[in-house]
Amino acid sequence: MASISKSHSFWTLCGLLLWPITCLTHMEMDWPYALRSKHNPDNDYSNIDYSMTSPLNADGTNFPCKGYQNDRPFQSVTTYTAGSTYNISLAGSATHLGGSCQIALSYDNGATFRVVKSIIGGCPLSSSYDFKIPSFAPSGYALLSWTWQNHA
């Protein structure tokens, strides 16, 4: 979750991973760390989800974040400044000929999302994508998400 305030304020964002429901994917967000990520050195072995590259349930029962956004205590992974540019990095090799991706923020624990960047076609053929946190972003906490609809 992120603490968001007007300009010159900081965001503490947690990475969250959302996968398309209808396709098998083999990519994951490497930075910022997804909730329960094996890449996060602060996670202990009992808290790691080793199936991050698996799609969400077809019936949507674990949307979003496999429900991990409801874990308490909550572990934030980074701090961002409103109006600044950052990047996400991806891990994995099965890009399925790319597709389209979005980076979004949720201010209501995953009930709704606001897209901050769309990559139409060719995603995730690169391992890193830049995005900008809007300077007008509201105050409070936020979840950061990366979604991918693969091509093939």
**Cα dihedral across residues 49, 18, 78, 108: positive or negative:** negative
Q: Per-residue pLDDT tens for 54-98? A: 878 889 898 888 999 998 887 788 888 899 999 999 988 777 778
What is the pLDDT, as a whole number, of residue 54?
A: 82
| Percentage above 90 pLDDT, the chain | 45
Domain locations in the chain as residue ranges: 10-150
Whether the predicted model's global pTM rises above the 0.75 cut: yes
Q: What class, spelled out in words, does domain 10-150 have in CATH?
A: mainly beta
Q: Which two tokens stand for residue 135?
A: 């300077």
Q: How many residues does the chain have?
A: 152
Q: Among 91, 147, 139, 92, which residue's Cα sits nearest to residue 116? A: 147
